[in-house]
């Protein structure tokens, strides 16, 4: 199925600002699904059931966990319960940056020491290669292109942050990272006002839907049971409760990321932060010549309200950033539908970066939710006393991190059930990390909206003044954020 008309929940929105008579497809989960078509649904849970491990959530975290557990212990009865369909959440909507960033590394360095954070970073570097390896072994063609990650600075203040970031990454053991000046940056990508960039080889661009759908099939082929259209309403020790029955298992794993707030008792655990994207129509050969970007690096900037982009396998630009950051009461979006003002803001961002693309059409816009813990640190935990486990809070860096989290959950379960001892992964500093809950409403809404308004103001000020240092406003926003 390739026609966009066949995607459920799609809404066509007239382009704004009068720059085009074309329509933008809005929602329909994501552009990746519009291209690929939605999967045929798997059967819901028919009745009460028993398993050795029940996994709630069929995104990358849940599916990678099922994959590694089943590989390690083929005899395990593993059931995945997914409220809609596998890859419905962020895993089927993201920007396809498979890269080595992990939320919270610097905090772990402060709390557990530099060496522990270096081990975490090394594990992340290896994780990028691991995802590529498994995709290959399982025959999943996810349009992976290993061009690394290029982050550009477009103002003097961004350049100061970029240099500090580059130095920090080197200090965490990334010896193969490179720093480029304006000329070398332009040789890679011709972005307006780019004064420098930093590049790491530990990154690839991919098509997230091809990866998550391929992974679901691979997991099923290994003998894991997946029930879709099965919302879990409550998780408690040894029980995952759904409207159709309860699955009982010694281990119950919560892999629900940005949707976690809808589970009983978890309203303030992780904040569902929105991220929104647009995808252009395919660019012409002349347009690509004007842009460069032949290395197809995952591309980002150093703004406080940062953007991320990829050159898609079919020659489009898919670009994302923060639109409406958060919905009151931890609500999530409706199948990816995005506000016209956000679409327009992302289009303006694209043209600010690549003014040579004036007139390029936006084909599709969509949104999704990330899970944000109160201290912005991703975590993976198994509570040995209850058998409850969880992984998430990846903020915007989950395409690779989910894989490390899953291998770690697998090791924790293997250790707890006496199948193996402690491993390098179970000793990483993000394991068992605890964090307080978010504030109740309306403080949560006011805080997050205030924070992003301040980041945007800081970006505008840095651009307006061309100051050499980060705006003080950004430091205020960092304090509000609790980073």
Contact 27, 338 (CB under 8 A): yes
Residue 327, classified by CB atoms within 10 Å of its CB into exposed (0-12), middle (13-18) or buried (19+), is middle
Using CB under 6 A as the binding rule, the residues of this chain from 450 to 479 that contact ligand FAD are none
CB burial string 413-423: b at 16+ within 10 A, e below: bbbbeeeeeee
φ, ψ for residue 317 (rounded to 5)?
A: -110, 125
Using the minimum distance from each CB to ligand FAD, give the nearer residue, 66 or 451. Answer: 66
Asked whether position 255 contacts ligand FAD by CB under 6 A, the answer is yes
Using CB under 6 A as the binding rule, the residues of this chain from 92 to 131 that contact ligand FAD are 93-97
Name the residue among 404, 376, 405 with its Cα closest to residue 107.
Answer: 376
Q: Compute the least distance from the CB of residue 238 to ligand FAD, in Å.
A: 17
Name the residue among 212, 347, 193, 334 with its Cα closest to residue 281.
Answer: 347
Instruction: Give the one residue of 259, 376, 390, 455 binding ligand FAD; rule: CB under 6 A.
Output: 259
Asked whether position 231 contacts ligand FAD by CB under 6 A, the answer is yes
Using the minimum distance from each CB to ligand FAD, give the nearer residue, 89 or 196. Answer: 89
Q: At what angle do helices 208-221 and 114-137 cross, to 10 degrees?
A: 70
**Dihedral sign from CA coordinates of 206, 210, 214, 215:** positive
Asked whether position 200 contacts ligand FAD by CB under 6 A, the answer is no
Instruction: Give the one residue of 27, 320, 325, 373 binding ligand FAD; rule: CB under 6 A.
Output: 320
Binding segment (CB under 6 A) for ligand FAD, from list 146-154, 282-290, 367-375, 409-417: 367-375
φ, ψ for residue 242 (rounded to 5)?
A: -130, 165
* CA separation for the pair 427, 31 (Å, rounded): 38
Asked whether position 232 contacts ligand FAD by CB under 6 A, the answer is yes
Asked whether position 269 contacts ligand FAD by CB under 6 A, the answer is no
Q: Compute the least distance from the CB of residue 395 to ligand FAD, in Å.
A: 8
Give the length of the chain.
483
Instruction: Give the one residue of 83, 100, 155, 408 binding ligand FAD; rule: CB under 6 A.
Output: 83
Using the minimum distance from each CB to ligand FAD, give the nearer residue, 27 or 398. Answer: 398
Return the beta strands (E) in 70-168 as ranges. 78-81, 97-99, 149-153
Residue 341, classified by CB atoms within 10 Å of its CB into exposed (0-12), middle (13-18) or buried (19+), is exposed
Asked whether position 390 contacts ligand FAD by CB under 6 A, the answer is no
Using the minimum distance from each CB to ligand FAD, give the nearer residue, 264 or 472. Answer: 264
Asked whether position 65 contacts ligand FAD by CB under 6 A, the answer is no
Asked whether position 28 contacts ligand FAD by CB under 6 A, the answer is no
Asked whether position 256 contacts ligand FAD by CB under 6 A, the answer is yes
Q: Using the 8-state DSSP alphabet, how is residue 431 labeled?
A: B
Omega of the bond prior to 442 within 30 degrees of 0, cis?
yes
Do the bridges between strand 388-392 and strand 251-254 make them parallel or antiparallel, or are there none, so unpaired? Answer: parallel
Binding segment (CB under 6 A) for ligand FAD, from list 89-97, 219-227, 415-423, 439-447: 89-97
Instruction: Give the one residue of 27, 39, 58, 323 binding ligand FAD; rule: CB under 6 A.
Output: 58
Instruction: Give the one residue of 381, 402, 426, 471 binding ligand FAD; rule: CB under 6 A.
Output: 402
Instruction: Give the one residue of 26, 36, 61, 342 binding ligand FAD; rule: CB under 6 A.
Output: 61
Contact 54, 249 (CB under 8 A): yes
φ, ψ for residue 189 (rounded to 5)?
A: -150, 135
Asked whether position 380 contacts ligand FAD by CB under 6 A, the answer is no
Report the residue closest to ligand FAD, judged by CB.
398
Using the minimum distance from each CB to ligand FAD, give the nearer residue, 393 or 429. Answer: 393
Residues that bind ligand FAD (CB under 6 A): 56-62, 81-84, 88-91, 93-97, 231-232, 255-259, 262-263, 275, 277, 308, 320, 368-370, 392, 394, 396-400, 402
């Amino acid at each position: 199925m390739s026609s966009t008309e066949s995607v459920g929940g799609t809404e066509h929105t007239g382009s704004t600002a009068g720059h085009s008579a074309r329509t933008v497809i809005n929602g329909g989960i994501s552009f990746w699904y519009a291209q690929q078509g939605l999967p045929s649904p798997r059967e819901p849970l028919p009745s009460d059931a028993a398993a050795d491990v029940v996994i709630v959530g069929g995104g990358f975290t849940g599916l990678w966990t099922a994959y590694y557990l089943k590989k390690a212990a083929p005899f395990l009865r593993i059931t995945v319960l997914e409220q809609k369909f596998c890859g419905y959440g962020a895993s089927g909507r993201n920007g396809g940056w498979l890269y080595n960033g992990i939320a919270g590394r610097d905090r772990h360095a402060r709390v557990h020491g530099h060496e522990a954070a270096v081990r975490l970073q090394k594990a992340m570097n290896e994780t990028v290669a691991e995802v590529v390896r498994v995709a290959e072994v399982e025959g999943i063609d996810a349009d992976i292109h290993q061009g690394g990650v290029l982050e550009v600075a477009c103002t003097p203040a961004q350049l100061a942050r970029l240099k500090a970031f580059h130095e920090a990454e080197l200090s965490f053991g990334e010896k193969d990272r490179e720093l480029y000046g304006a000329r070398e940056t332009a040789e890679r990508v011709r972005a307006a006002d780019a004064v420098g960039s930093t590049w790491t080889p530990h990154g690839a661009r991919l098509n997230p839907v091809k990866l998550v759908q391929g992974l679901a099939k691979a997991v099923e082929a290994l003998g894991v049971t997946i029930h879709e259209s099965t919302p879990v309403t409550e998780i408690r020790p040894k029980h995952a409760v759904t409207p159709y029955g309860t699955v009982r298992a010694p281990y119950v794993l919560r892999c629900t990321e940005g949707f976690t707030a809808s589970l009983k008792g978890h309203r303030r655990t992780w904040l569902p932060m929105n991220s929104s994207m647009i995808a252009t129509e395919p660019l012409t050969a002349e347009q690509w010549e004007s842009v460069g970007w032949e290395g197809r690096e995952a591309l980002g900037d150093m703004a406080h309200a940062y953007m991320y982009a990829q050159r898609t396998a079919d020659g489009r630009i898919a670009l994302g950033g923060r639109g409406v950051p958060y919905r009151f009461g931890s609500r999530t979006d409706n199948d990816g539908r995005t506000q016209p003002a956000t679409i327009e803001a992302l289009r303006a961002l694209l043209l600010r970066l690549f003014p040579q693309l004036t007139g390029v059409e936006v084909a599709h816009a969509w949104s999704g939710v990330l899970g944000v813990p109160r201290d912005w640190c991703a975590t993976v935990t198994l509570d040995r006393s209850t058998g409850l486990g969880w992984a998430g809070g990846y903020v915007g860096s989950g395409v690779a991190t989910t894989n490390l989290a899953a291998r770690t959950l697998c090791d924790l379960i293997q250790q707890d059930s006496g199948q193996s001892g402690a491993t390098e992964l179970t000793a990483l500093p993000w394991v068992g990390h605890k964090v307080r809950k978010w504030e109740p409403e309306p403080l949560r809404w006011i805080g997050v909206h205030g924070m992003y308004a301040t980041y945007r103001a800081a970006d505008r000020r840095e651009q307006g003044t061309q100051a050499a240092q980060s705006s003080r406003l950004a430091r205020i926003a960092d304090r509000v954020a609790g980073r």
